[in-house]
Amino acid sequence: MSTPAADTPAPVEDSPVLEVAESEPQNPLTKKFTEKEWEALRELRAKLPYIFETSFPDKQDKLDPVNLWGIPIDPSNPVGDARVSVVLIKFLRARDLNVENATNMMVSTLKWREEFKVDELATDDALWEAFSSVGCVFGKDKEGRPITYNIYGGQKDTAAVFNDVPKFIRWRVQLMERGIALIDFVNVDSMVQVHDHEGVGLRSHTANTKAAATQATKIFQDYYPEFLSKKFYINVPAYMTWIFWLFKPLISANTLAKLNVVGGGTNTIGAALLPVIDAKELPKKYGGEAEDL
């Protein structure tokens, strides 16, 4: 009697996780989930009532659906929309598929968003206008991910941008939210970020700028799981590159691998960005063909 080859795939009926995955709505992103991810996702879904009750202790109906980054999450029916699975898996991936840690992260995120009034902040046009020369959302990468730009060096008085740290942090969160608003959670679930430091010198690094950088890093690390595809720090003088690694202890290894520190000059910047961003989506000053920001 012959024995099956070692690499013979297990029958579908022996893989309950796969059966569950195939029996619910799918999109291009959920089709890339591994079986371990599906298993962890099922466990996290079962914890959604607890997550909502813990996150919203003062709400009369704690199990009402909540919009998270534009995706309605209903703890009583988390299977009806594949985009919900994409949102939930982000928390799991950010915590190495540890369901308990992902649960805690989601609770913290929902609490913080309500306390920080993030949904109101996202539509604050006055705040957006106040920092219009400091950053924007422009174009998409070759995979359709939105691109956000931070242009701190474009200011004659960089310190003035960080004069009111809480206000700057509110705008920085707003920029993140407006970028996420362009994510469909069907084909893409992350973004590209470009930080232009042209004109920023050592004197620009004040107590306020350091405080703003530390606070922003913690917010995005704690409450925005796996939204970063790549981040480019461009126009960085060689003598300043060490500053960016001061924050290494605050950044996960996974996030750290997505960071790229690039020098100055159109050709140098273009060589780094054009493999990721099509020339028609990249401003001319960065080596592309689009109009400058």
Nearest of 48, 2, 47, 45 to residue 24 by alpha carbon: 45
> Between these two residues, 10 and 131, which has the higher pLDDT value?
131
Where does the chain have alpha helices with state H?
Answer: 16-22, 35-46, 48-55, 82-94, 99-116, 118-121, 125-130, 158-161, 165-180, 207-223, 241-244, 253-256, 266-273
Distance of CA 267 to the CA centre of its chain: 28
pLDDT, mean of residues 261-272: 92
Residue 158: pLDDT band (50, 70, 90) is low
Write down the mean pLDDT value for the chain: 87
Which residue in this structure is represented by tokens 């592309």? 288
pTM for this model (two decimals): 0.86
Most confident residue range from 93-107, 157-171, 223-237 = 93-107
Structure confidence at residue 204 (pLDDT):
62
Determine the angle formed by the axes of helices 207-223 and 99-116, rounding to 10 degrees.
130
Residue 76 predicted with pLDDT over 50: yes
- Is the CB of residue 196 less than 8 Å from the CB of residue 235? yes
Residue 9 predicted with pLDDT over 90: no
Which residue in this structure is represented by tokens 């942090």? 169
Q: Which helix (H) or strand (E) holds 203?
A: none
Phi, psi of 137 (to 5 degrees): -110, 125
Residue 62 predicted with pLDDT over 90: no
Model pLDDT for residues 177-221, shown as the tens digit of each residue: 999 999 999 999 999 999 998 877 656 667 888 888 889 989 999
Residue 244: pLDDT band (50, 70, 90) is low
Residue 15 predicted with pLDDT over 70: no
> Between these two residues, 250 and 172, which has the higher pLDDT value?
172
Least confident of 26-40, 112-126, 152-166: 152-166
